[in-house]
């Protein structure tokens, strides 16, 4: 199992995963397009969270590097970028830097251009998915889709959902799914269902519309989906 | 609340709903394209179930009529047809026969033409849904989407999922959602979330891909989705 993990993306998801990985004992490099810009950015997040630099002061063990440096040094890579720019970020990070590695894709192909709640990006649902496109961009990496179906706090603390929610994994490589499953267990997930090959990501990404509507109906993002059986 | 309920469709879903409604005390008319053909059909169902006529002998209180007769006499109408022909079936039933009525849409826009597992029909997911198209076809009816996210036995017996699964409703008319919710409670559902207007059906129909994959992974259709919160 990897000791040094790269997390691509400095949004709420990337920060939550990076912090949890450090807490769990991994060396963590978080990757961004422009290190100086990210470090000096004083804007609060869209949801009112602290600027990256404030967060970084509290999580100094997380190294901040370029996407390329992070992808190169990570033995395992989390993709936590905004889904609309994920494929571009992977190009910036250098596809060769993912070769032979387990790549855990947490991103969602959300399309905010048609108003709220967002839909999924054209061409990336139903008969395709963002994870499948990532796998096509990285033919020698082992992409696993997981965690995208809950909010960032539940990702790393599933008990916060108030129950024992189910998490899914999908990917073509059993070893990579084993890596992802081991990490999920370290995050606190106990009910994990393997949906098969990477095309199982379709169903996971297509959960977003009902996730968003349930959020609107229940007025809380602190929930998860449990497969009761 | 309606006393006389029409169920359009003689497949496993229509039969399960019709039987449960009779058991619950309603007068039930099940609608089909061709009454004589349905009555004389000796073929078993795709899943190996008995032919309609055998089922009908055990459920003689259910009246079998044409789609048009059923829609005309039902005070409330369940749409349980194959999603690929639902809009056509509604035209055959006569859109005027739905005016002012609560129409509970249980159908799924599954596309089996691209192999298994099925995807959703082109143009009927993400930024649209089958329920929204039904509502457009029936502008003076009150369409409610529900029950499409579980198998036919769980629909009318949610406890069979082995837990207390969540059911969703979506529709534009609060009174019609009230009718649907009352029926859901009679079927045994206790955790019901209102997703808002009929566009909430998108998320419910987009649950099918993960439902199908979960079925494949767990080797059982006896499950439901619980929103743990």
Closest-CA distance, B192 to chain A, in angstroms, reads 11
Cross-strand bridge partners of residue B214: none
Q: Give B162's pLDDT tier (boundaries 50, 70, 90).
A: confident
Cβ neighbors of B226 (< 8 A, separation 6 or more) are A163, A225, A226, A227, A228, B163, B164, B165, B166, B191
CB distance from B52 to chain A under 8 Å? no
Contacts of A170 in chain B (CB under 8 A): 213
Task: Check residue B48 and give its pLDDT.
Answer: 79
Contacts of B213 in chain A (CB under 8 A): 170, 195-196, 200, 203
Averaged over B220-227, what is the pLDDT?
Answer: 97
Q: In what order do the strands lie in the sheet with B27-32?
A: B63-66, B27-32, B4-8, B76-79, B102-105, B142-145, B166-171, B191-194
Percent of chain B with pLDDT over 90: 92
**Nearest C-alpha in A relative to B211:** A203
Nearest to A223 among B170, B206, B227 (CB): B227
Task: Check residue B121 and give its pLDDT.
Answer: 97
CATH number at residue B121: 3.40.50.720
CB distance from A202 to chain B under 8 Å? yes
CB distance from B138 to chain A under 8 Å? no
Nearest to A226 among B168, B211, B228 (CB): B228
Whether residues B228 and A162 touch (CB distance < 8 A) is answered with: yes
Using one digit for the tens of pLDDT, what is the confidence trace for A110-129? 999 998 999 999 999 999 99
Contacts of B113 in chain A (CB under 8 A): none
**B223 is a domain residue:** no
Q: How far is the C-alpha of B15 from the C-alpha of B78, rounded, in Å?
A: 11
**B128 is a domain residue:** yes
**B90 is a domain residue:** yes
Contacts of B112 in chain A (CB under 8 A): none
Closest-CA distance, B132 to chain A, in angstroms, reads 15
Residue pairs between chains A and B whose CB atoms are closer than 8 Å: 130
CB distance from B78 to chain A under 8 Å? no
**B225 is a domain residue:** no
User: What is the phi/psi pair of residue A111, to 5°?
Assistant: -115, 105
Whether residues A207 and B212 touch (CB distance < 8 A) is answered with: no
**B228 is a domain residue:** no
Task: Check residue A44 and give its pLDDT.
Answer: 84
**Nearest C-alpha in B relative to A162:** B229
Structure tokens at B17: 């709903």
**A224 is a domain residue:** no
Whether residues B214 and A193 touch (CB distance < 8 A) is answered with: yes
**A229 is a domain residue:** no
Closest-CA distance, B50 to chain A, in angstroms, reads 26
Q: Give B134's pLDDT tier (boundaries 50, 70, 90).
A: very high
Task: Check residue A3 and give its pLDDT.
Answer: 94
Q: How far is the C-alpha of B6 from the C-alpha of B146, rounded, in Å?
A: 16
Question: Which residue range forms the structural domain that includes residue A63?
Answer: 4-218
Averaged over B31-48, what is the pLDDT?
Answer: 89
**Nearest C-alpha in A relative to B120:** A126
Task: Check residue A110 and give its pLDDT.
Answer: 97
Whether residues A223 and B220 touch (CB distance < 8 A) is answered with: no
Instruction: Supply the ipTM of this predicted assembly.
Output: 0.95
Kindly state the DSSP code that residue A59 receives in the 8-state scheme.
Answer: -
Q: What residue ranges in A69-219 does DSSP mark as E strands? A: 76-79, 102-105, 110-111, 119-120, 142-145, 166-171, 191-194
**Residue stretches of chain A with pLDDT short of 50:** none
CB distance from B152 to chain A under 8 Å? no
CB distance from A193 to chain B under 8 Å? yes
Whether residues B203 and A222 touch (CB distance < 8 A) is answered with: no
Closest-CA distance, B178 to chain A, in angstroms, reads 16
Contacts of A227 in chain B (CB under 8 A): 214, 218, 223-226
Task: Check residue A162 and give its pLDDT.
Answer: 87
Specify the pTM.
0.96
CB distance from A220 to chain B under 8 Å? yes
**A228 is a domain residue:** no
- On the question of pLDDT at B1 being above 80, the answer is no
Task: Check residue A159 and give its pLDDT.
Answer: 96
Whether residues A217 and B202 touch (CB distance < 8 A) is answered with: no
The Cα-based distances of B86 to B76, B107, B149 in angstroms read 17, 7, 17
Using one digit for the tens of pLDDT, what is the confidence trace for A27-63? 999 999 999 999 998 888 777 788 999 999 999 999 9
Averaged over B33-45, what is the pLDDT?
Answer: 91
CB distance from B168 to chain A under 8 Å? yes
Number of domains in chain B: 1
Closest-CA distance, A71 to chain B, in angstroms, reads 30
Task: Check residue A140 and give its pLDDT.
Answer: 98
Closest-CA distance, A31 to chain B, in angstroms, reads 31
Task: Check residue A50 and give its pLDDT.
Answer: 87
Q: How far is the C-alpha of A196 from the C-alpha of B222, rounded, in Å?
A: 19
Averaged over B45-56, what is the pLDDT?
Answer: 86
Q: Give B192's pLDDT tier (boundaries 50, 70, 90).
A: very high
Whether residues B227 and A225 touch (CB distance < 8 A) is answered with: yes
């Amino acid at each position: 199992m990897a000791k040094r993990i790269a997390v691509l993306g400095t949004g709420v998801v990337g920060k939550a995963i990076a912090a949890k990985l450090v807490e769990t004992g991994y060396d963590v490099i978080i990757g961004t397009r422009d290190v100086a810009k990210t470090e000096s950015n004083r804007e609060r997040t869209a949801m009112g969270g602290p600027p990256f630099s404030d967060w970084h002061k509290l999580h100094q063990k997380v190294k901040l590097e370029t996407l390329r440096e992070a992808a190169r040094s990570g033995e395992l890579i989390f993709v936590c970028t905004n889904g609309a720019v994920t494929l571009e970020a992977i190009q910036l990070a250098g596809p060769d830097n993912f070769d032979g590695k387990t790549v855990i894709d947490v991103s969602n192909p959300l399309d905010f251009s048609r108003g709220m709640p967002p839909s999924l990006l054209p061409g990336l649902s139903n008969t395709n998915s963002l994870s499948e496109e990532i796998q096509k961009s990285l033919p020698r990496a082992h992409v696993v889709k997981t965690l995208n179906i809950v909010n960032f706090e539940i990702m790393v603390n599933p008990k916060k959902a108030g129950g024992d929610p189910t998490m899914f994994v999908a990917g073509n490589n059993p070893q990579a799914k084993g890596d992802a499953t081991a990490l999920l267990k370290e995050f606190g997930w106990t009910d994990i269902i393997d949906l098969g090959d990477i095309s199982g990501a379709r169903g996971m990404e297509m959960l977003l519309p009902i996730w968003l509507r349930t959020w609107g109906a229940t007025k809380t993002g602190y929930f998860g989906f449990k497969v009761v059986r």
